[in-house]
Every structure is written in C-alpha cells, then in structure tokens.
Amino acid sequence: MTSIIESGYEFWNPIIWLIAFAVVMVIVYFFRRQGQEKYKKGEAQAQIFLCGEEVPEAEQRQVRGGNAYWGFFETLKEYYGGIIRPHTGIVNDYVIWFIAVMAVSAVVLFIVELAK
Amino acid sequence: MATLIEHSSILIIAIPLLAAFLTPLIGMASKKARNVLVMASLAFVALLVFALARDVILNGIHVYTLGAASPGLTTPGGGVAPVRIILEVDAISIFMGITVALVSLVAAIYSLSAMKGETGQNRFYTLLLLMVGGIFGMVFTGDLFNLFVFLEITSISGAALIAFRTRSADSQEGGFKYIVVSAVASLMVLFAIGLLYAQYNSLNIGALAAAMQYTMLDKIALVILISAFAMKLGGVPMHMWLSDTYSVAPVSITVLLITASQASMYALTRTCFTLYGVTLDSAAVGWIIIAIGILSMFIGVTMAVRQTDITRLIAYNCVCESGFMLVGLGVGLAVLANPEALAAYGITAISGAIFHMINHALFEGLLFLAAGAIFYRIGTRDLNQMGGLGHTMKFTAILFLLGALASSGIPPFNGFASKILIYQSVYQFNPILTIIGILVSIITLAVFMKAFFAAFTGASLPQYKGTKEAPKTMIAAMTILAVIIIFFGLFPGLILDGIVRPAADALVDQSPYINAIMGAIP
C-alpha cells in the first residue's frame, strides 16, 4: 500500500484519515441541516449587532496582524526582550555568532575526547 | 537513451550553465525566445533528473569522471587515487536533484508573470540558471573542491538575484548580507578542505572517506564544515541573515534560496555521514547538530509569530523547519555507531528528516509564492496593511492555506507525514525533543493562522476593492506545488519507499559511496 508509512512504532494511513474526516463532515452537515431554515436576508437577524448598534467601517473593524496574540507577547515580554536583542541586523554580528558556534562546537568535541 | 543517461549527471549541470550564457544573447533578439529557452532547458533538465533517478534507484550509484576515456574510469592508468573531477550521484544526491528540478521549474514558471515589466530580465534569467546549475553541482559532485566552487557559484548568483531590485534599499542590503555571510562560510569551507588535502593528498570525498583517520586536524575541519554549512542553511544562532534576505528577494528567487539552503543541509549530511562516517564521535557530533536544531525550531517559530511582514514571517518559519531536519539527522548521527538503535529508530529519524527536506521546499515555496502574489497585487508585505483579500484573491487564499496547513503538520498533508516520522523516532531517543517538536508545530499553526486571518479574512477593505486575482502563470506555478503537496500527503509510502529510504540507506552506509570511486575494499 503506497499510502501507508510505518515509523517502527505505529503506522500512518492518510486514506483512513480522509474517510474518518468525510464521516465527520457528513455528521456535521446533518446537524447543520437541523438549523433554522427561515433565514431572511437584510433583516435584523442578519446584522452583526442585534441591539442595533452601528457597525463600524471595514477598516475600523479589521483585526490587524500586529494586534494578534497580544496576551501571548505580553506574557512572554521578557523572553522576547532577550531574543530580539541579538537580532541587530548588523552583518558583523552575524559573523561573530558563526565564530561563537564554531568555538563552542570545537570545545565540546575536545572535552568529549578528553573525557574518554 | 542509454548514452543520454550515461552522460546525464554532467548534462544536468552543464545545460543550465550553457543556457545561462545563451540567455542574454537570445534575449537581445526576442524576449519570447529567451523565455522559451529558459523553460525548455529547465524542463529538459527535470526530465534528465527523473531518468537518472530511475537509473540510480535501479542500478545503484552513478559515477561520471570528466575527461576519462570512460565515465566510470575513476582511477586512471591503474592508479590508486582518483585525480580527475568526478561526479558521484547516489540515492541522496538524486533525491536532492529531484527537489531542485521541481522547485527551479516552478520558480521559472512563476517568474514569467512576476518579473513582467521589470527591467534587466536577461540578467535575471541568466543568474537564475547559473544558480540552478550551481545547486545541481553542489549535490552531484563527488569532489570537495568542486563543492566549494559550486557553493560559490550558487552564493554569488544568489546575492545578485536578492539585490536584483536595485531601486529598493532593502534588496541591496539583503544582497550585501548574503554575499558577506556566504563568502565567510565558503572561505571557511575552503580552509577545512585545505586541512584535509594537506593530510590525505586528495579532494575526492570517497577517497578521503576511505583514508579518514579522525586526527586533530580532521576534527578542526569537521567543526569548521559543520558550522559553515549550518550557517548557510540558517541554523540558530547563525540564522539572522536568512530573514533579511529571503524577505527582500523576488519570491521566485526566495524559493530557489530555500533549495540552496537545502543543498547546504545536504553538504552537512554528506560531510558527517559519508566523509567522516563511522570514524567520528557520532554521539557528540549528533548532539551538537540536535542542539542547533532545537534552537532553530524554538527560536525560529517564536520569532515568526512576532512578525508583521508576511515574507519575514515565512522566512523565520523556514529557520524553524530546518530545525526539524537537523534534529532528525542529529538523532540518526548520534546512534550511527549503535546498530540496534540505528535499526530501531535512527534510520526512521534520518528518513523523516530527508522526507522533510523536499516537503519543506514544497510548502515553504508555496507560501512564499502566495505571499509574492499578494505583494504583486497590493504592493505591500505588511500584515497590518492587509485584510479581506480572500474576497478577491480566492485561489491565492486557498493555496496559502494549503501551504500553511502542510507547514504546520496538519494531516493529511505532506508536512504531517514527515513530521510524524521525526516525532516517533526521536521520541525513542529522547522524549523531550519530541515534546518540543509538537509544541513548535502548534505555534507554527498559530503563526500561519495569524498571517491567514490578517491577510485574507475580514471585511473587504476599500483600498483593495478592485484587487484582481494573481496572474494565471503565478496560479499555475502555485498549483503545481499544491498538487505535489497533496500527492505526497496522500501517498507518503510511495515517496518514502521510492526515494526517501534509499537516500537514508545511502547516508548510513558510506561503503558503497567509497567503493564506487576506489573499487571494492576487501
């Protein structure tokens, strides 16, 4: 079977997943069909705010990319402060990081060699 | 046909290089003829790659000695050492070749529309073909010095292409950074090659592997090669150039830059598994690569989620995905000297990493092309300026979503197939690594949901009311990648057994690679 991959731990077959997905979709469709059929366009039920509050213009109600996950960034403020600082945009710094990685890798290899 | 396949490895490198020099000449006469030349040469090269792949999988390693009476004559005059330039294509080389062939063809198709109206198109296509020839050279050569030469060809043409839009200061800066980083990496690679040549009097990878003693100088060369290739593939903390360059290059070139980074990943694995092989302290080196991989995954994805420039966001995600590959390869390397662990999960970890290489090139390529289509239509990459584009750019939205789901490892797409191999095999080595991997995948999904919702959903913004769908050739190029992503996702077993497992086997056993050059070792 060309769809199956085995990791030596268990297997993965996307065709079985697709069949399961299709069954779930049919069930979802069935429940959706049970909903209200007498939907009328252009009336109060189609408004964003049922209370009748005026809907802002498209530009004002658009959630911009920069506003997403505000809480996540606020919680991890210290982590981001530390991680953004080395991203200086200066190419000299990029080369220093390369030298640092080379030095640390060499030290690790030689310590391991000495420990043997 | 047999003659064509016999010479195919050199033709695959030579055709793009020759077409590169013909392109400006033909371009002066007719733009249409130039475009036909570019497309025809890349399509023919792709056909040759698939023919060679079939030959390599069925008949084993393909060796081509330049200037020899017969392409298979690696040690002329009954000598014991290979002295000529030798191309050596085994299962991992041809796997990379397939990736390069697919991606370069798609990049060229996309460029037909994306570069329309730009000046200097003759130079653009010349450089594009040079870069493709350079990448093919990197993955097909069996000679370390040639690896350096092709690395230089790829880097120089890549830098010129990043800086192609000379009107943009960001592009100039990106090109400058790329050439500086590439030059430093290339020179260090050359220095490491010099250390090896000084000891073993050979530049051939097979001959060097046969003679490797793992001396102090070899260790120094190994550290330099790992660090240099890790920088070229964007491993943390040497990744900072990547977002500065990927985000400012024309997107069809960014797709090729991803492939160039994959070629550096190939060079890293070739160095560790084939050149040094069982001689090195595989556990220590494996853990060094795992450490770079874990850092790349975590820092890559947490930086990606912070970005508001859509191409920088995808670029940081590229750093993250490279981390998955490094972890898989690192685990395989760490257990290389332990046959039981290698058979139990090491080979699966390497297979997952290799499978992820081609998947990464496909879905990140698709994401960049979709981001390029947005930029082509609305002229900005800033997510804060976007919104509601799904109303007018429906195909682009669907294709972006598909790439995003594949990148996040959502079933049944190709990213899931390779990531599950990495998760399950790495779990048996160290469960913490898998837990980090799954957490990173969840954040990756959050990254792309942010990008998708900011760009495509919401009410249609007045400034983008008249925006049209991307041009047909752009959609066609993206659709090709999308179809391959779905195909790889639905039939992962076919890809795994057909090209991935043979590539993993070629990595873990260095003797066939050595024997193809030196003859059978008794």
The answer to whether residue B108 sits within a structural domain is no
The mean pLDDT value for B214-242 works out to 96
CB contact under 8 A, B284 and A108: yes
Under an 8 A CB cutoff, do B238 and A106 touch?
Answer: no
Question: B496 in a domain, yes or no?
Answer: no
Interface check for A53 against chain B (CB to CB < 8 A): the answer is no
The SS3 of residue B262 is helix
The 10s digit of each residue's pLDDT in B389-424 is: 999 999 999 999 999 999 999 999 999 999 999 999
The rounded percent of chain B whose pLDDT value lies above 90 is 91
| pLDDT band per the 50, 70, 90 thresholds, residue B522 | very low
A90 contacts chain B (CB < 8 A):
no
Residue A61 touches partner B, C-beta closer than 8 Å: yes
Asked, for residue B338, whether it belongs to a domain, the answer is yes
Measured between beta carbons, the chain A residues lying within 8 angstroms of B237 are: 86, 97, 100-101
Whether B134 is in a domain gets the answer no
The verdict on A95 touching B (C-beta cutoff 8 Å) is yes
Q: Is A11 on the interface with B (CB under 8 A)?
A: no
Interface test with A, best of B225, B305, B331 (most A CBs within 10 A): B305
What is the C-alpha to C-alpha distance for residues B369 and B362, in angstroms, rounded to an integer? Answer: 10
Q: At what angle do helices B91-114 and B251-269 cross, to 10 degrees?
A: 170
Report pLDDT for A44. 72
Give the C-alpha separation, B504 to B351, whole Å.
5
Q: What pLDDT does A88 receive?
A: 95
Question: Does B191 lie at the interface with A, CB-CB under 8 angstroms?
Answer: no
Q: Does residue B521 have a pLDDT over 70?
A: no
pLDDT digits (tens, 9 = 90+) for B440-460: 999 999 999 999 999 999 888
Predicted confidence band at A116 (pLDDT cuts at 50, 70, 90)?
Answer: confident
Domain assignment present for B362: yes
B451 domain residue, yes or no? yes
Q: For residue B142, is pLDDT > 50?
A: yes
Give residue B106's Cα distance to chain centre.
14
Domain count, chain B: 1
List b or e across B288-300, with b for residues whose CB sees 16 or more CB atoms inside 10 angstroms: bbbbbbbbbbbbb
pLDDT surpasses 80 at A43: no
Here the ipTM equals: 0.94
pLDDT (tens digit, 9 = 90+) per residue, B450-506?
A: 999 999 998 889 999 889 999 999 999 999 999 999 999 999 999 999 999 999 999
pLDDT digits (tens, 9 = 90+) for B67-114: 888 888 887 766 677 888 899 999 999 999 999 999 999 999 999 999
Q: What is the pLDDT of residue A92?
A: 96
Residues of B in contact with A93 (CB under 8 A): 240
Cα distances (Å, whole numbers) of residue B227 to A100, A106, B231: 10, 10, 6
Nearest residue on chain B to A63, judged by CA atoms? Answer: B454
Residues 6+ apart with CB under 8 A from A29: none
Those residues whose C-beta lies under 8 Å from the C-beta of residue B235, and which sit 6 or more positions away, are B292, B293, B295, B296, B319, B322, B323, B326
pLDDT greater than 50 at residue B305: yes
Task: Flag whether residue B189 sits within 8 Å of chain A, measured between CB atoms.
Answer: no
* Residue B299 to residue B302: CA distance in whole angstroms: 5
How far is B332 from chain A, CA to nearest CA, in Å?
14
Contact between B425 and A7 using a beta-carbon 8 Å cutoff: yes
| Residue B215 covered by a domain | no
Proportion of chain B above pLDDT 70, given as a percent: 99
| CB contact at 8 A, B301 and B444 | yes
> What is the domain range of residue B480?
281-490
Chain B CB contacts of A15 under 8 Å are 490
How do beta strands B62-65 and B86-89 pair?
A: antiparallel
Q: Which of B230, B244, B461 sits opposite A59 (nearest CB)?
A: B461
B455 falls within a domain: yes
Average of per-residue pLDDT values in chain B: 95
Chain A residues touching B224 at Cβ < 8 A: 102
* B34-58 pLDDT tens trace: 999 999 999 999 999 999 999 999 9
8 A C-beta contact, residue B37 and residue B18: no
Structure confidence by residue, pLDDT tens digits, B365-393: 999 999 999 999 999 999 999 999 999 99
